[in-house]
Structure 1
Amino acid sequence: MSDQITVGVGAGAKYLGVDQVVDLGPLHPSAHGAYRLRLTVSGADPVITEATPLVGHLHRGAEKLFEVRDYRQVLTLANRHDWLAAFCNELAVALAVERMTGMDVPLRAQWLRALLCELNRLMAHMVFLTPLAPAAAQHREAIQSVMEEASGGRIHFMFNRIGGLREDVPAGWTDRVRHALSTVDVDALAIDEGRLAGLGVLSREAALAHGVTGPIGRASGVDFDLRRDDPLPAYRELDVRPVVRTEGDALARVRCLLDEARQSIRLATDCLAKLPSGPVNVRLPKAVKAPEGSVYTWVEAPLGTSGVHLSSRGEKTPWRLKLRTPSFNNVQALSALLPGTRVRDLPQVLGSFAVVVGDIDK
């Protein structure tokens, strides 16, 4: 930090009237990774006047790793840059290869994908809500257990494959999912809404300018949800109603997470009711090759739009595979919403603003 703004301590402290630059990070206690938030603060009761997110402290190199692996191996890595959206990220890559090859995915696999996406979304939202409502951790564990049972993986599911899913879900699994969903009581989560109202306001214009999507964007009036606006086949038969608010403050963001958790429970229940029988994958050749060309696919991940731009030269490995990750865009919006926030309110504002650092560094 530079330039002291006070002399003395406690009641005897005296404000000198100069700004102070504070670096939050690059090590942050709530993130599995490092990003740095540079704040300029001013005043006796310090208020943030400028905020600059500084990213790239840990470059994972995921996109370059994709280019030296065949498409089946890519799927084992595609879930790691955002470990709270693992299934959705796998799906985005699988969709890109399937569209390039013109592959028809079995109907049961399409419905299971939608179901698992909603379970993944519900699980992620419970994680983001846990600092504000500790009881959310128990709900997350209930959903995590059925995801683990289906895929065999607790964090990195690796359950999608090109042409569907790796295998069908175990016998009796759908009944256990129904039970797990019945235990998630979103209304019982005790959140002190009075501490969040009016803090960290992100305007709709600023959200659009920074490309903010997902619940953070919808809390600021950005009415965009790929489950409705560019739905996968199963979602076309589901009643997806995006939760959109206009306040753009910390409370609106938390309420969006809560309402979307309720909707994910409803959508997952509908998927269970509509789940058809049949195969969950197609027979693949020994080496999967995408034809020469390019394609862009996207899915509605828990934090927003997760996109994949795949370019192929007709080989069994991608020539280029670029990621559009929601956290990378969303974190830039901190520069727009933090100015005017008191430093003592910073924990509540950052607690309402969910990002995953691996999704930023990718």
Structure 2
Amino acid sequence: MTGQASLVTERIPLGEDLSDAPAGERLIVNVGPSHPSTHGVLQILVELDGETVVKADPVIGYLHRGDEKIAENMHYNQFIPYTDRLDYLAPLANNVAYACAVEKLMGWTVPPRCQVIRVICCELARISSHLLGLGAFAMDCGAVSVFLYTFTEREKIYSLIEELTGARFTTTYTRIGGLARDLPDGWVGRAQAFVDQFGARVDEIDKLLCRNRIFVDRTKDVGVISAADALDYGLTGPNLRASGVDLDLRKKLPYLGYEQYDFEAVVGSAGDCYDRFVVRLEEMRQSRRILQQALSRIPDGPICVDEVRSYLPPKSAVLTKMEELIQHFMIVTEGISAPPGEVYFGAENPKGELGFYIVSKGGGVPHRLKIRAPSFMNLSILPKLLPGHLMADVVAILGSLDFVMGECDR
């Protein structure tokens, strides 16, 4: 590399140490924090030599809201709405992950009907998140039509979610020990109708991108993450599996009865942008398989644990019976009575492992609560990953990582 600004748009060898290279006429460019390609308020200070990235320094914190400290100042159930706003593209899955963590602390196991409904919620959230991620990724690379296809399917999911929870975006559907309400009449049939037609839509998205020469050229052999680097930087989810590491918590550490479902953990090999796209595409097909099984096996029974002193009674009983009214008052004012202890629970969310570490000293409020946000971990590899690529590759790499700043800046 010469001391002058290079005008040759060729990728230099990836992983090469460029810190001691002559500065020449290098240019520092702000990518974000207000730019569509950063998918939220992420700023990257990119140092360029011509078109080649020499150094990349991600800057986060623009969306910081102190969720962890908020959780330590309210009852366990009161924090559920805040989990909606972590990965706000998969609020149903966030609700479930947090509820499972607190239930692990309590020593509760939710009834089978509740487990199956939660699995349905998580897989609908996975498909919805991947649809937006793939649509935005494709548009970042110039394939605008795919975005329209993915958003059409996502709107169908939102209609189902709205009917189930009363909200399209911030659902707050899960409760510690159960669910806010049972399935509406006819909802299972409408969900099944969506699942039946969704397979053909995934095939269309597949054909639109896998045969698109521009998209393939912009993603193949770009942004390669080795399995060793993925593990070193704590990557999880599709970004980790695309690098050839077979780690899916639904398989390795099953929860909510995932061991009873027939599905495959999707694993890539190349670890490039294209593999990360293919993994998410195939994961939608696997989520469809899970949904078909779950919708056909929803058992009868309660949707909440039988814990009179810790779970809110039905509203109809609260309005008509004195015991239930007192029970409701005590739980709302004091919270559930959690035992002292420390627990960690990690769930396989669309972006990766969403984990909650809870320290309890007893009572209805956690003493400490920490969140392992997958997007935060996935972005940590950018300073190592981006140097050596062209500036145009940065947009493709960011799209392939599919991060959300809501959980990164928790």
TM over 0.5: yes
Equivalent residue in structure 1 for 2:134, among 129, 135, 154:
129
Work out the percentage of aligned pairs sharing the same amino acid: 39
- Considering only CA atoms, is the larger Rg found in Structure 1 or Structure 2? 2
Instruction: Map 1:27-66 to 2 at 5 A.
Output: 27-30=34-37, 33-43=40-50, 46-66=51-71
Deviates more, 1:314-323 or 1:33-42: 33-42
Q: Residue in 1 aligned with 2:405?
A: 357
Q: 1:207 to 1:6 in 2, by over 3 A?
A: closer
Report the 3-state secondary structure (helix = DSSP H, G, I; strand = E; otherwise coil) of the residue aligned with 1:130: helix
Say if 2:49 is the partner of 1:69. no
Residue in 2 that maps onto 1:238? 261
Report the equivalent of 2:152.
138
1:172 paired with 2:195, answer no
DSSP 3-state at the match of 1:245: coil
| Counterpart selection for 1:318 from 353, 366, 369 | 366
Contact 1:92 1:307 in 2 (8 A): yes
Asked if 1:152 corresponds to 2:166, the answer is yes
One-letter identity of the residue aligned with 1:208: L
Correspondence for 2:245: 222
Note if 1:297 corresponds to 2:345. yes
5+ residue gaps, structure 1: 8-15
Q: Pick the aligned partner of 2:28 from 14, 21, 24.
A: 21
Structure 2 vs 1, CA of residues 60 and 30 (structure 1 numbering), >3 Å: closer, same or farther?
farther
Match of 2:317?
none
- Following the alignment from structure 1 to structure 2, what is the Cα–Cα distance between the partners of residues 71 and 358? 20
Task: Give the TM-score of the pair, scaled to structure 2.
Answer: 0.82
Higher mean displacement: 258-267 or 187-196: 187-196
Letter of the 1:212 partner, please give it: L
Which letter does structure 2 place at the counterpart of 1:86?
P
2:60·2:409 contact (CA, 8 Å) conserved in 1? yes
TM-score, with normalisation over the residues of structure 1?
Answer: 0.92
Question: How many Å separate the matches in 2 of 1:6 and 1:340?
Answer: 13
Where has structure 1 moved over 6 Å in runs of 4 or more? Answer: none
Aligned to 1:255: 278
Aligned equivalent of 2:107, options 102, 126, 137: 102
Paired residue for 1:275? Answer: 298
Residues 144 and 154 in structure 1, CA contact (< 8 A), matched pair in contact too = yes
Moved more, 32-41 or 173-182: 32-41
> 2:58 corresponds to which letter in structure 1?
P
CA contact (8 A) 1:119 1:143 kept: yes
Q: Which residue pairs with 1:188 in the alignment?
A: 204
Deviation at 1:336, TM superposition (A): 2.4
AA paired with 1:52? D
Q: Provide the C-alpha distance between the structure 2 equivalents of 1:292 and 1:235, rounded to a whole number of angstroms.
A: 29
User: Whole-Å Cα distance in 1 between the matches of residues 218 and 39 of structure 2?
Assistant: 26
Asked if the contact 2:32–2:38 (Cα under 8 Å) also holds between the matched residues in 1, the reply is no
For the residues of structure 2 that align with 1:311 and 1:6, how far apart are their CA atoms?
54
Distance 1:104 1:248 in 2: 37
Q: Distance in 1 between matches of 2:223 and 2:38?
A: 20
Q: In the alignment, which of 377, 386, 404 is matched to residue 338 of structure 1?
A: 386
1:172 CA drift (Å):
0.8
What number of residue pairs does the alignment pair up? 350
2:142 aligned residue? none
